[in-house]
Amino acid sequence: MVKAIVRNNPKTFFIWSPMYITDHTPERYDTYAQSKVFEWTEPYLRMVDLWDMARFLLNPGGGGLYHAPIGGVYMGKAMQRIWNEVETCMQE
């Protein structure tokens, strides 16, 4: 479904970054990685993989929800990486 939306709207710039806040298990990341979603390229699409940050949200013993505060460190770092992609595309 997402691929169809992106491909049918070539004048719209998309930045897609799966967020792992509510399901931050390695299995969730593996699902994305195995689907090869991070290898998908379109001229107007940027994929931002935040797993390198999200894996640190794992609770000891596994599972559970992590409530990232609005404007917190995690959100700030994630948004900086997303905005970096916007700026890069504006220069292209």
Phi, psi of 52 (to 5 degrees): -60, -30
What does the H/E/C string look like for the chain? CHHHHHHCCCCCCEEECCCCCCCCCHHHHHHHHHCCHHHCCCCCEEECCCHHHHHHHCCCCCCCCCCCCCCCHHHHHHHHHHHHHHHHHHHC
- What would the mean pLDDT of 22-36 be, rounded to a whole number? 82
pLDDT (0 to 100) of residue 28 = 82
Among candidate residues 53, 57, 48, the one with its CA nearest the CA of residue 81 = 48
pLDDT for residue 48 is more than 80? yes
pLDDT (0 to 100) of residue 8 = 93
Instruction: Report the share of the chain in percent with pLDDT over 70.
Output: 82
What is the tens place of the pLDDT at every residue in 49-87? 888 887 776 655 555 566 667 788 888 888 899 899 888
Paired sense of beta strands 14-16 and 45-47, if any: parallel
pLDDT (0 to 100) of residue 3 = 82
d(CA 62, CA 42): 35
* Averaged pLDDT score across all residues of the chain: 80
